[in-house]
């Protein structure tokens, strides 16, 4: 099909670029970093005065995590942060993107009294990074909501959460903002809403009333994000001189034919992912395509809300980009969950001739499609007036298999090819005129992969879960080291 040829031709064009991608293809001030999140790596769940989060309960609930594991210890970053930061420095990364565990700062989330031990832990992390010349990129919320806020007020379902999040954000800016210049508020509100309140595959694991709760949770996240941004812009920015954004995630949707209805379906699919959050933040309301399908299940922004979301806009878009799908219009897509069904978009991973859109990684959702990265970046740039973009996550996983010898596991050739391919597409996007300013690989370490427990390994650095949690850089880590050295020549 014409459509198919076009895409493949573009892919071929990139093959030559791909094998040659160099640090020098990026502007000198472009920043390369590596990414993690608090619950996935810290462990130390009962230490330092930390309160419980909804993920502690979820991971300890039978049947929620495929290998029956939890992140009570995880990779013990809480105690090994110095070693981990040394590793980041050794690999040559100039940025480290991590998240702050809200219940370490306010154990019950209410924000009455800050937990000094929590502040001290992140101060240590931040200071160690700066000593090594690594720029901290801090995410305020990567899914670990203080349990008490869920139990007492219903967490993201209650509008009061906006105030509690604002108090938490304010405390973080006040304590860390003298040294942290790059903030993001919420990581993947889409997944928090859909995983937490529709499919129930993420904490708090609700699928009780998905046609209402999913959209309400998302609505409150937009307001909470905006409240934090507004505090930063009005109270801290001038003095501290940093910047703040939101982290959205997007699977690129490529129409599987040239038919108008399939083209519209592809557009709609991207609007349901990015537009759900970025349309309100840039234009003041949800995308029309969402309203048409969801009606008043999508809450309204009051005049007061609108003032909040449009006033003091964020400085950049944070993007998590992993994978892509071919899509077509389908009245009844057969997809699972209210959010997926309501889009009237069916997804597939094969072209018409049976060729795959890309190789599958270990996770069922993750097909390797480098050109999707360039398209998502271009889309954001075209739709939202070319905002600065930082890629906050991009990576792939291998299946845990204890029978494969360590030396073999460490030589992760497929991940090296993955990064070469995707990073080359980022360079192309910059040539297209997209204002991409930074890139973080997911993830520094193998870690607790949410409902997949320790069965999937996303790390550049292997962690031996059986032998003392020792760290072993994989070939991909070494590839980054060489790639980044290139810039200093
Ligand atoms: C990121 O999300 C997360 O920010 C990060 O914490 C995580 O470790 C990383 O991806 C790798 O997964 O299990 O079928 O319900 C990426 C977007 C959204 C992709 C949720 C997987 C779950 C599919 N993710 N989705 S399913």
Tally the domains of the chain.
Answer: 1
251: Cβ below 6 Å to ligand 1?
no
Low-confidence residues in the chain, pLDDT < 50: 1-2, 5-6, 9, 16, 489
Cα within 13 Å of Cα(401), Cβ side: 11
Closest CA to 222 of 149, 180, 165, 150: 165
Q: Helices in 177-316 by DSSP H: which ranges?
A: 189-197, 210-231, 237-240, 260-270, 276-283, 288-294, 303-310
37: Cβ below 6 Å to ligand 1?
yes
Angular region, 436: left φ>0, alpha ψ -120 to 50, beta rest: beta
Indicate which residue of 42, 135, 188, 340 is catalytic: 188
Closest CA to 41 of 95, 112, 121: 121
Give the distance (Å) from ligand 1 centre to CA of residue 80.
25
List the binding residues for substrate: 40, 142, 187, 322, 442, 449-450
- From 34, 64, 196, 320, the mutation candidate for ligand 1 (largest count of ligand atoms within 8 A of CB) is 320
Whole-number pLDDT of residue 446: 98
DSSP per-residue string spanning 150-201: HHHH-GGGSTTHHHHHHHHHHHHHHHHTTT--EEEEEE-HHHHHHHHHTS--
Q: What is the domain range of residue 176?
A: 2-488
Give the distance (Å) from ligand 1 centre to CA of residue 377.
19
Are the C-beta atoms of residues 285 and 357 closer than 8 Å to each other?
no
Q: Which residue's alpha carbon is nearest to atom 8 within ligand 1?
A: 449
Give the distance (Å) from ligand 1 centre to CA of residue 279.
22
Are the C-beta atoms of residues 462 and 407 closer than 8 Å to each other?
no
Indicate which residue of 340, 393, 400, 425 is catalytic: 393
pLDDT, tens digit, 9 for 90 and up, residues 422-432: 999 999 999 99
Q: Which helix (H) or strand (E) holds 128?
A: helix 116-131
201: Cβ below 6 Å to ligand 1?
yes
Any idea which residue has 């040829």 for tokens? 5
Q: Which residue's alpha carbon is nearest to atom 12 within ligand 1?
A: 449
322: Cβ below 6 Å to ligand 1?
yes
Q: What gap in Å lies between CA 182 and CA 392, rounded to an integer? A: 11
Whole-number pLDDT of residue 154: 98
Whole-number pLDDT of residue 7: 53
Closest CA to 420 of 23, 10, 19: 19
pTM of the model: 0.96
Contact partners, residue 142, CB within 8 Å, separation at least 6: 37, 38, 39, 40, 99, 187
- From 337, 365, 415, 451, the mutation candidate for ligand 1 (largest count of ligand atoms within 8 A of CB) is 365
Contact partners, residue 401, CB within 8 Å, separation at least 6: 409
Give the distance (Å) from ligand 1 centre to CA of residue 196.
12
458: Cβ below 6 Å to ligand 1?
yes
184: Cβ below 6 Å to ligand 1?
no
456: Cβ below 6 Å to ligand 1?
no
Give the distance (Å) from ligand 1 centre to CA of residue 131.
32
CATH number at residue 317: 3.20.20.80
- Give the 3-state secondary structure of residue 456: strand
342: Cβ below 6 Å to ligand 1?
no
Q: Which residue's alpha carbon is nearest to atom 24 within ligand 1?
A: 191
447: Cβ below 6 Å to ligand 1?
no
Q: Work out which ligand 1 atom sits closest to the CA atom of 247.
A: 4
Give the distance (Å) from ligand 1 centre to CA of residue 36.
13
Give the distance (Å) from ligand 1 centre to CA of residue 351.
24
Contact partners, residue 408, CB within 8 Å, separation at least 6: none
336: Cβ below 6 Å to ligand 1?
no
Whole-number pLDDT of residue 20: 87
Q: Which phi and psi angles does 222 have, rounded to 5°? A: -65, -45
188 classed as catalytic: yes
Whole-number pLDDT of residue 389: 99
Q: Which residue's alpha carbon is nearest to atom 18 within ligand 1?
A: 191
Q: What gap in Å lies between CA 463 and CA 10, rounded to an integer? A: 37
Whole-number pLDDT of residue 363: 98
């Amino acid at each position: 099909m014409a459509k198919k040829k076009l895409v493949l031709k573009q892919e071929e064009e990139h093959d030559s670029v791909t094998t040659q991608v160099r640090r020098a293809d990026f502007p000198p001030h472009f920043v390369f970093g590596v990414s993690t999140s608090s619950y996935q790596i810290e462990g130390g769940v009962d230490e330092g005065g930390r309160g419980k989060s909804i993920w502690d309960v979820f991971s300890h609930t039978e049947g929620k995590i495929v290998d029956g594991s939890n992140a009570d210890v995880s990779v013990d970053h809480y105690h090994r942060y110095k070693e981990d930061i040394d590793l980041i420095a050794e690999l040559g990364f100039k940025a480290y993107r991590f998240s702050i565990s809200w219940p370490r700062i306010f154990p019950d989330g209410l924000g009455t009294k800050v937990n000094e031990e929590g502040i001290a832990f992140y101060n240590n992390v931040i200071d160690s990074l700066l000593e090594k010349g690594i720029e901290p990129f801090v995410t305020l919320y990567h899914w670990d909501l203080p349990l008490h806020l869920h139990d007492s007020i219903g967490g993201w379902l209650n509008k009061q959460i906006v105030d509690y999040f604002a108090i938490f954000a304010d405390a973080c800016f006040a304590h860390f903002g003298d040294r942290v210049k790059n903030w993001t508020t919420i990581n993947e509100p889409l997944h928090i809403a859909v995983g937490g309140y529709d499919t129930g595959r993420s904490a708090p694991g609700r699928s009780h009333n998905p046609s209402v709760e999913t959209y309400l949770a998302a609505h409150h996240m937009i307001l909470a994000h905006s409240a934090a941004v507004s505090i930063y812009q009005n109270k801290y920015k001038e003095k501290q001189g940093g910047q703040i954004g939101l982290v959205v995630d997007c699977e690129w949707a490529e129409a599987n034919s040239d038919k108008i209805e399939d083209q519209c379906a592809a557009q709609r699919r991207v609007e349901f992912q990015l537009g759900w959050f970025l349309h309100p933040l840039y234009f003041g309301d949800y995308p029309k395509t969402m309203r048409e399908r969801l009606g008043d299940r999508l809450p309204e922004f009051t005049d007061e809300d609108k003032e909040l979301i449009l006033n003091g806009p964020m400085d950049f878009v944070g993007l998590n980009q992993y994978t892509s799908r071919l899509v077509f219009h389908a009245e009844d897509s057969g997809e699972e969950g209210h959010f997926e069904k309501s889009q009237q978009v069916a997804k597939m991973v094969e072209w018409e001739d049976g060729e795959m859109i890309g190789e599958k990684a270990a996770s069922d959702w993750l097909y390797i499609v480098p050109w999707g990265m360039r398209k998502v970046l271009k889309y954001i740039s075209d739709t939202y007036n070319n905002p600065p973009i930082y890629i906050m996550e991009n990576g792939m996983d291998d299946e845990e298999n204890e029978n494969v010898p360590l030396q073999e596991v460490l030589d992760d050739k497929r991940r090296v090819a993955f990064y070469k391919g995707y990073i080359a597409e980022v360079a192309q996007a910059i040539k297209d005129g997209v204002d991409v300013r930074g890139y973080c690989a997911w993830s520094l370490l193998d870690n607790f992969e949410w409902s997949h427990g320790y069965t999937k390994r996303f790390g550049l650095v292997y962690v031996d879960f059986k032998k003392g949690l020792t760290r072993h850089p994989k070939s991909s880590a070494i590839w980054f080291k060489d790639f980044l050295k290139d810039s200093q020549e």
